Amino acid sequence: MFDEQGNEVALIKRKFSLRPNFDLSIMGKDMSVEGSFYGHAFDILNQGNLVASINKKYLSWGGDAYEIDIHETENNELYLFVVIVIDQVIHEKKA
């Protein structure tokens, strides 16, 4: 993801694993995303500290729905970006 000036502000890369795991860089901070075996819950960790939790809701009308609990006050929109990318990656894998 890039800002208006073309600077990279976020990067997410899938890691090879049985569970969905990702390397994440947000505003120069290296983080990790660890998913549950079925890909319904994810934790975003910064040096082992939990910064956000993502949970897929099982019942929703009209498509997938996620709940995100952000424990940091900065860059909230970038954590929403992470949810969107993870959802897309999981759907591509199922197709």
pLDDT in tens, 2-42: 889 998 888 888 888 777 889 999 888 899 999 888 778 89
Residue 37 lies in a domain: yes
Q: CA–CA distance from 45 to each of 21, 64, 66 (Å)?
A: 11, 23, 18
- Give pLDDT, residue 78: 82
Residue 76 lies in a domain: yes
Residue 1 lies in a domain: no
Q: What is the pTM of this model?
A: 0.78
Residue 3 lies in a domain: no
- Please say if the pLDDT value at position 82 is more than 90: no
Residue 15 lies in a domain: yes
The set of residues, in sequence order, having a beta carbon less than 8 Å from that of 1 and lying 6+ positions away, is: 8, 9, 10, 11, 78, 81
Banded model confidence at residue 92, pLDDT cuts 50, 70, 90: confident
Domain that holds residue 25: 10-94
Residue 5 lies in a domain: no
Number of domain units in the chain: 1
Residue 71 lies in a domain: yes
Q: Which two tokens stand for residue 10?
A: 């976020």
